[in-house]
Chain A
Amino acid sequence: MRVVSAVALNVFRESVRDRVPYNLVIFAVLLIGSSYLIGQLTAGQDVKIIKDLGLAATSIFGLFIAIFIGIGLVSKEVERRSIYALLAKPMSRTQFIAGKYAGLVLTLAVNVAVMTAAVYLVLGYMTWNEPAEARAAWDAPGTDPALLKALFLIFVELMVVTAIALFFSTFSSPLLSAALTFGLYVAGHFNADLRNFEHVVDARPAVWLARGLYHVLPDLSAFDVKTQVVHGLPVPAGYLVSTTAYGALYVAALLLAATVIFTKRDFK
């Protein structure tokens, strides 16, 4: 556990020093702040657009951070040849992978927390500024705690994407890892279409293949509850727990596969 923590903290420190996440988070915070101005164009829907833009910005910029840093987690060490020194230390390859993953998740957690704070800050200002009659027309309170459900599932989705990026990073170049990770991200959002493939084609093998792919590919659309929380619709606790459990199991599967691949790699 100490070894994993040490690797994780090192990854976090390196990420903090890297300018890419800084720029992305600053840009995200600026975008969230500008949503207050964009909201003036929406005929009374300011709060909705602040919430929509805030959640979307957190998701998109979190995705960029997960991919840009995740694809280089292992491949950078290999390119810099620092992998030899690392593997010579009393640390298993499993601990190495786990530590790398934990470090990037910690980085993401901090970045998502900063963006969450920015969203609530703008919403708080909005709520404070609006008269009570206008606030009564909102579907949900301005600083609605239910937003945290959407932000939590966005974070779990980013954990899955990070695991995908790390998985590809163990055997592929950064450019290819980025393309494959983004491709899986897109496929994960269209996943639900595969479940109902029998409405599109008649061939049974195609339907079975589609159904199989539905279960194997990451079901990322399930993590999207943005519309529900913005409109004040309920998100059952059971749904949150089951979706989080799905994410955790998928992450575990990816990390184990990454460990197997990384363990079998010969760095001579």
Chain B
Amino acid sequence: MAAAACLAAAVVTQVARDRAYPREAPATQAMLYVRSPEAVKRMVLGFDALAADIYWIRAIQHFGGQRLAEPGQPRSYHLLYPLLDLTTALDPYFNIAYRFGAIFLSEPYPGGPGRPDLAVALLRRGIAVQPGKWQYYHDIGFVHYWSLDDPTTAAAWFQRAAEQPEAPNWLMPLAAAMLTQGADRVSARYLWQQIRSSAEEWLRRSADRALMQLDALDQIDALNAIVASMPPPAGHGYSWLPLVRAGRLRGIPLDPSGTPYEMDPSTGRVRVSERSPLFPLPAGVHGR
């Protein structure tokens, strides 16, 4: 009883002291103490796959934590590639780590680190372990197409993917279309619809977002045309109001996520709001 009373008194004293003399919270910067895959492999004593799962969970938490940070706060994805590197080194057959890594490493800032080169490097390591895995070739092609705006190289990778065992029959026509037509939203939409039929939920969600971004690009083209057809009088900036009054628009247009579009008052160019979950739109996927 006396011991419990002393402990209770100590707790009360501690609370009172912390209120009177608040202490700064220690800096909680994320750290990766061991970066060498070879060192970690030796440290885990044969439990490589379990260690890979732990690093994978950490990679997801790190990426999600940065991506969901408050708007305006700086984001740092500096640990994403090292964590994925460790995950795939510990478990070279961890397919989703390669595919997830590719899509989100290549995602432009602030949605991701904007490192398509690292995405390709990660997928190439996956191919070294499983040379017959068509999905990895396809994903490299996709990175070249979507992030690097290089449809020729993308087509070459889609072709290599089509040559792998059990590759789906839509890969070769896609490669051919890419070679002959160059980058366009039709091929992009087709690609994302294929990924959307994937059984992995995270890939489906990424595809849904990308398809909405493509819809937004189409809508922006249409809106730009409407804005250009009705320039403001001299001395006035561009705005939605005159267009709504003139009946050209029913109201301030919303993007596919439901966020209002913004208009540059000096140029009239329509763009997706930074508050929209679709921001930023992919660069280089121009219309026909």
Q: List A residues at the B interface (Cβ < 8 Å).
A: 38, 41-45, 48-49, 52-53, 55-56, 59-60, 133-134, 136-137, 139, 185-186, 189-190, 220-221, 224, 226-227, 230-231, 233
Among the listed B46, B198, B201, which residue makes an inter-chain contact with A220, where contact means beta carbons less than 8 Å apart? B46
List B contacts of A189 (CB < 8 A): 45-46
Which 10 pairs of residues, A with B, have the shortest CB-CB distance? A137-B199, A231-B93, A56-B50, A52-B49, A52-B50, A189-B46, A49-B53, A136-B199, A41-B57, A227-B49
6 A-B pairs besides A41-B61, A45-B56, A227-B93 with CB distance below 8 A are A43-B96, A43-B100, A52-B49, A59-B47, A136-B199, A137-B200
Q: A45-B56, A139-B95 are in contact. Are A221 and B46 (CB under 8 A)?
A: yes
Interface of A is mostly: helix
Query: Would you call A226 and B49 a contact (CB within 8 A)?
Result: yes
List of B residues within 8 angstroms of A227 by Cβ: 48-49, 91, 93
Structural contact, A53 and B53, CB atoms closer than 8 A: yes
| Closest partner residue, chain A, to B197 (CB atom) | A133
With A43-B96, A44-B96 known to touch, is A230 a contact of B200 (CB < 8 Å)? Answer: no
Complex: A60 Cα to B56 Cα, angstroms: 21
Binary A-proximity of B218-235 (CB < 8 A = 1, otherwise 0) = 000000000000000000
Q: Within the assembled complex, what's the spacing in Å between the Cα atoms of A147 and B86?
A: 25
Would you give the shortest CB distance from B90 to chain A, in whole angstroms?
Answer: 9
Interface residues of B in 77-129 (CB under 8 A from A): 91, 93-96, 100
B57 touches A42 (CB 8 A): yes
A190-B42, A227-B91, A231-B93 given; A44·B49 CB < 8 A:
no
* Known A56-B50, A227-B48: A44·B202 in contact at CB below 8 Å: yes
Contacts of A231 in B (CB 8 A): 93
B60 at the interface (CB under 8 A from A): yes
**Distance of B42 from chain A, by nearest CB (Å):** 7
* Least distance between B12 CB and chain A CB atoms (Å): 35
Please name all residues of chain A whose beta carbon is closer than 8 Å to the beta carbon of B42 when the two chains form the complex: 190
User: With the chains together, A42 CA to B50 CA distance in Å?
Assistant: 12
Closest B residue, CB atoms, query A186 = B45
A residues near B53, Cβ cutoff 8 Å: 42, 45, 48-49, 52-53
Given contacts A139-B95, A233-B93, contact A44 B201 (CB under 8 A): yes
B52: A residues at CB distance < 8 A: 52
For window 160-217 of chain B, which residues contact chain A by CB distance below 8 Å?
198-202
Expressed in whole angstroms, the Cα–Cα distance for A224 and B56 within the complex equals: 21
With a cutoff of 8 Å between Cβ atoms, the chain A residues found around residue B47 in the complex are: 56, 59-60
Q: How many angstroms between the C-alpha atoms of A189 and B56 in the bound complex? A: 23
How many Å lie between the Cα of A165 and that of B93 in the bound state? 34
A156 CB to nearest chain B CB (Å): 14
- Residue contact A44 to B57, C-beta cutoff 8 Å: no
- Chain A residue numbers with a CB within 8 Å of B91 are 227
Cα of A45 to Cα of B53 in the assembled complex, Å: 9
Flag if A53 contacts B50 (CB, 8 Å).
Answer: yes
Contacts of A190 in B (CB 8 A): 42
Rounded to whole Å, the gap between the CB of A187 and the closest CB of chain B is 11
Contacts of A44 in B (CB 8 A): 96, 200-202
Would you give 20 A-B contacts (Cβ < 8 Å), ordered by A?
A41-B61, A43-B201, A44-B96, A44-B202, A45-B53, A45-B56, A49-B53, A52-B50, A53-B50, A53-B53, A59-B46, A133-B199, A134-B201, A137-B200, A186-B45, A189-B46, A220-B46, A221-B46, A227-B49, A231-B93
Chain B proximity of A219: nearest CB distance (Å):
12
Query: Which one, B45, B48, B49, B60, contacts A43 given CB within 8 A?
Result: B60
B48 surroundings in chain A (CB, below 8 A): 227
Taking the closest CB of chain A, its distance from the CB of B52, in whole angstroms, is 8
Closest chain A residue, CB of each to CB of B201: A44
B53 to chain A, nearest CB (A): 5
Q: Inside 8 A of A56's CB, which chain B residues have their CB?
A: 47, 49-50
Complex CA distance for A230 and B96, rounded to whole angstroms: 14
Q: Give the interface centre of B45, B53, B96 by most chain A CB atoms within 10 Å.
A: B53
Residues B48-78 near A (CB distance < 8 A): 48-50, 52-53, 56-57, 60-61
